[in-house]
Chain A
């Protein structure tokens, strides 16, 4: 460390001669930083943030090390030390880290959205998931594999994706961001409550399930109204389930009968969602798998009872 520091002092005049002249505001330029922080600098050209430096068109406060960490003059004069860095991320409260990143990224992320996101409310800042100097993934500079980052806090979701029936997230066929926006999504409107949160709609403003399950989109001549009103999660557990087809119940008939019970006040007409007809003898097992006959349960173009 001492050797590096002495070497840095020797190289300082040379580096200062190559970098833009230091301003009175305390900016010294990235060339000064690299004399001590050579291992960080050695890989920095792979970093997307290097583009601003390479362009040569940005002011010192908007490029290189000091664009994030602040003017380094005091840090250099103090011969290093974390506390002399104006913006040391490991010492910053999450809100300050967020604001530092948003100084440039507010145009791509949207300060209004991220400041109201559940992540910001729980003090999950940018550097909780992104690692500028030691990214595990070059794309998006993620600090670890995306699913592992999410599992770090969302323990229960990890359990759901370990269930026998699940979307293939652990296997790599999907990612959390296929459905969720970790930077804050607009409130979903297929459910009336506050949840689900952080779910990103399709480009056309629809439920994210329809991005892949295009055959369920419709329009159908006869829509199964719960699907459109309350969303797919009326019957399915989207992350994972102990039941086949991500269903919320192990048996289809209980899933159906819990709504089709005739209770007044519910359904399109408010007269209740119709019960099954007397021709269905539930003592006979053939009637217990409703979708054997009601094959088009998500919507049909030719039968109001979804038989065809």
Chain B
């Protein structure tokens, strides 16, 4: 059982690590310019199918762009959106949750109300509305998702803060004359980071999936940026005769999100068996 978990954690870390490396070094790795079109080489199949051409390992899309290059650049978009969204939503959620848990009383009531209000908002619908009003761009997608995905951070940060706040070492810090901000930053925050790290992995995965969904609906990142969701959307008209155009980005998306979730699960088990606080 333990070995199985370790395998999960290791493979999750390997997948995420590989995706990060690919995202960072995409310009060095790609065999072709991911934006260069070549109409004479449209919808070439990948290497394991008949009719594959040298130099296009994963074939080409409907505009003759190299699919491997677009896939690698797509990893950049996915990772960027996943991480940027999680940072933004993490800042909002942790600030709200810690404030509610630490101060209690009316502030906590307000935080709880905000969380409840946020949970009653349908995510995709609001994202769609915002994007259709403001227009779609990478920044808008990150901002919109960042402003929507903070609820789990807030819930976890609030509960963890409430638990830590009442421990004796916090009382000792008060008695030692520490300021409120020192107590929050030095005594409480370091002790609630482990559950928050687990939430962060879940949020990265969720943000990547949401971006793909939005891009598929044509409201995510605008073309010609190679997002995996957009690649699936653009490929859907050709899926009957060239199924790889949606299969390849779909599998990439699945593997990445699966890897992130494995990593999150592994982290959670590691932290649970490790320390109490």
Do the two chains belong together in a single complex?
A: no
Chain A interface residues (CB < 8 Å from chain B): none
Chain B interface residues (CB < 8 Å from chain A): none
